[in-house]
Amino acid sequence: MAGEKSVLSGEDGQKITARLLKLCGWNLSEHIDFPCLSGKKHKPPGNKGERQQHSVDGINTYSSPLNLAAKKLVMVSAKHHAESYPSASPSKIYRTIKELAQCLDCATYSPQIQEDYLDGTDPDRDAEFDGLLTFFSSDPAEKNTSFFFEKHDSISIPTDQFNSIYFIDNRRATFLFSAIKEAQEYSTNREFSFIYPDTGAQNTEDISNSGKILPLELMCSDVLPILVEKDGSYHVLIFCNDLIEKQYLKRIIWLIHKLCGFAGKTVVYFPDYDPSRHNSMVNSVKQQFQESDYLNKIYLKKWDEFSFIKLKDDDAQHLDGA
């Protein structure tokens, strides 16, 4: 019975991960096995023989909208706990991260990965191998818990060859899912695009300033700009994962002036915004931008929390995406 529960919990983690990423414009190839090319180096602790193969829960590739020279290959490992987050030691978390790092290490040289996912890649783009580790708890009390960075603040990083490994836990998933659902409900036609900031590596007309794919770097950012069509004009919705405070709001308004000059309206969302508590502070910040013609187009709202855990249910209404 315990083994059955473990399997079902793992399947739920994979469903949540794939469906959340679909809302971000991704389309995972799921359950991938490929040969290990460093069997002795990657031998699991306690095993007598060398490792024969690697397994990942998903692979996604995309041309980076933030860097003209990069083609991203992202390997995804999905973890899930049916109840509250377990009390895992940093060493156990390190082993989970290292397992994904070893997959990326081998994928860099794997003929199978090259043929299946990078064949035909634009020769002007270099392949970058990144990892994404998701770990969710279905405990409603932990919907805003950050497993990786609240419970553990000193986890070693493996030395295997890879570009980066990113993490999505309950707090991050709640923010992403809530922002996307808010954007869908705000939009006239429920369609939206993600806005790409200027990185200095996009100096070409071939790179758009918005698109349907949310790149990994922005997926793990605490500021998420989304473009929607509303009543015949374009509005920008900027979702913030941190609590509102004066200096933070000032930086957001500077960002608005860089990103949103074309928009008919910009709405900034905070998780704790309350007009009666924050209007005075908001007005004092806006006074520092009195020469701006755009101030009267900036509005603040509180974003509502949506339960990303519902993504494990086989309910199509959660899957309408970008």
Can you tell me the distance from the alpha carbon of 96 to that of 273, in angstroms, rounded to the nearest whole number? 37
Can you tell me the distance from the alpha carbon of 248 to that of 309, in angstroms, rounded to the nearest whole number? 30
Of all residues in the chain, what percent carry a pLDDT higher than 70? 86
Q: At what angle do helices 246-259 and 275-286 cross, to 10 degrees?
A: 60
Does residue 108 carry a pLDDT above 80? yes
Residue type, 274: D
Residue 17 backbone dihedrals phi, psi, to 5 degrees: -65, -50
* Predicted pLDDT of residue 4: 45
Instruction: Return mean pLDDT, the chain.
Output: 86
Q: Quick count: other Cβ atoms within 10 Å of Cβ 169?
A: 23
The answer to whether 83 and 14 are in contact (CB under 8 A) is no
Q: What is the phi-psi region of residue 288: left when phi exceeds 0, alpha when psi lies from -120 to 50, beta otherwise?
A: alpha
* Predicted pLDDT of residue 95: 84
Does residue 299 carry a pLDDT above 50? yes
pLDDT in tens, 132-163: 999 999 999 999 998 876 555 555 566 666 77
Give the residue with greater pLDDT, 41 vs 240.
240
At residue 207 the predicted structure's pLDDT band, cuts being 50, 70 and 90, is very low
* Predicted pLDDT of residue 116: 93
End-to-end CA distance of the chain, in Å?
Answer: 39
What mean pLDDT comes out for the span 152-180?
81
Report the Cα 222 to chain-centroid distance in Å. 10
